[in-house]
Structure formats: C-alpha cells, structure tokens
Chains A and B, each alone.
Chain A
Amino acid sequence: QSVLTQPPSVSGAPGQRVTISCTGSSSNIGAGYDVHWYQQLPGTAPKLLIYANNNRPSGVPDRFSGSKSGTSASLAITGLQAEDEADYYCQSYDRSLSSWVFGGGTKLTVL
C-alpha cells in the first residue's frame, strides 16, 4: 500500500470535469513537500503533467491543473477528451520513509 492514497479509478464523459485526489500525511504532503503528477498512457513511460503542486510543463494543455491543501492534493482535468484516458500518479517526498514516493495510481476512463 502506498503512503499517498489515490482512488483506483475515476470516469467521466467527454467534455466533463474530473478530479483525482491524492491523500497523504504529516510526513509527506502535510510536511510541505511539493506534489507532482504524472500521466501514463497505455504501454508508455510516465510523463510529467504537473510539477510543484500547480505548474504545467511546456506543452501540457491548460485543461490540466493541480492544487494542494493540508495533507492532500488534487489533479483536475476539464474538457475531458478520449486521449486523456490513462493512469495518473501523484508523487512527493516522505521524510519518515526517507523516500520519494508515488501514489498507487488512478485509472481514468473516458466514457
């Protein structure tokens, strides 16, 4: 089990908005460490989607946004598209484990 908890799956219709939560604790997100998000399309390597809580790398559409509050973070995707169907992972640092940690991943299905 991951120290960062994500829902196993979320779904939404094209054009809708979905959010994916990432719940941590006082030893990781709550300790002030940044949260980052990755998108993994089927059969490919993860791709950095959001860094430092709410920043998008060049080339990532502004339909993707991130936020962080307390011991949790969220990824929001607006204007859902079929190409967004993928696995999404949050990542942070855990000072108790002395490790860079990932959430268990969330599979997004576009209905």
Chain B
Amino acid sequence: QLQLQESGPGLVKPSETLSLTCTVSGGSISSSSYYWGWIRQPPGKGLEWIGSVYYSGNTYYNPSLQSRVTISVDTSKNHFSLKLSSVTAADTAVYYCARRAIGYGGYFDYWGQGTLVTVSS
C-alpha cells in the first residue's frame, strides 16, 4: 500500500523559507505514470494546489505562487520536497503531499496525512 508522509518544521518565522519533505513508501517515486505534488489548506478554508514534480525533475507550479516555490525530487531517497520563500501569515496552512496521475485531467489518489505549518514570529 502506497504511503506518503510529510515532515518538516511546524513553525516558520515571517520572511523565512518553509521547507517540507514528503517521503514515499510502498512504491517508487520513479513511476512514469505519476506526478508528485503539494496542496495546502489554510485553517477553516479550502484546498489550494501548490505545484507538482515528475521523477525526471519536470515541474508545474501554481502561477500565483510560482515566484516563491521550488519543488524538487530525490529518486535515490524516494522523496520530494517543497520550499516556499518569503512566507507570511497567509502561508499558515496544513500542507499535504499527494500523488497525481499524469495528464491535465489527473487526479490526486494518494495523500499524506498533512502537516500544519504556522508562520509566526
């Protein structure tokens, strides 16, 4: 059974960089059929797609966040990572990693449990 697990600091100071890692177990991140992505959910609000990465390193980013986001993949460790720079309180959210089927019509079929990141001094 595929499992995804987010890890990283739960508290980040304003203007600093948020860094999270998603470790994939029970399957290979090098599968040609999937992208690996990040989605966030501010407290009490809806879901927002942040970006996705292919095992080759190809990425797609949400244009509204593109200037601050970097998503990378490490196939040797079977994990992928998110960096979000210059964070503000508006970036406080539960961050989920998820697997997405390839193609524009792709859906997110496996999700991590999520990790709350709070931006505060």
Contacts and interface: CB of A to CB of B under 8 A. Distances in A.
Interface string A88-111: 010111010111111111000000
Contacts, number: 59
Nearest to A33: B105
A99 B47 contact: no
Given A33-B104, A46-B96, A102 B111 contact: no
A47 interface: yes
Contacts of A89: 46-47
Interface string A51-90: 1100001000000000000000000000000000000010
Interface of A: 2, 33-34, 36, 38, 44-48, 51-52, 57, 89, 91-93, 95, 97-105
A57 B109 contact: yes
Nearest to B63: A98
A47 B111 contact: yes
Contacts of A95: 104
B108 A46 contact: yes
B116 to A, nearest CB: 11
Contacts of B46: 2, 89, 102-105
A99 B108 contact: no
Which 7 A/B pairs are nearest by Cβ-Cβ distance?
Answer: A34-B105, A36-B107, A102-B47, A45-B111, A93-B104, A100-B49, A51-B107
Nearest to A101: B49
Nearest to A97: B63
B79 interface: no
B62 interface: yes
B112 interface: yes
Given A46-B47, A46-B96, A47-B111, 12 more contacts: A2-B46, A33-B105, A34-B105, A45-B112, A48-B108, A89-B47, A93-B104, A95-B104, A99-B64, A100-B106, A101-B49, A104-B46
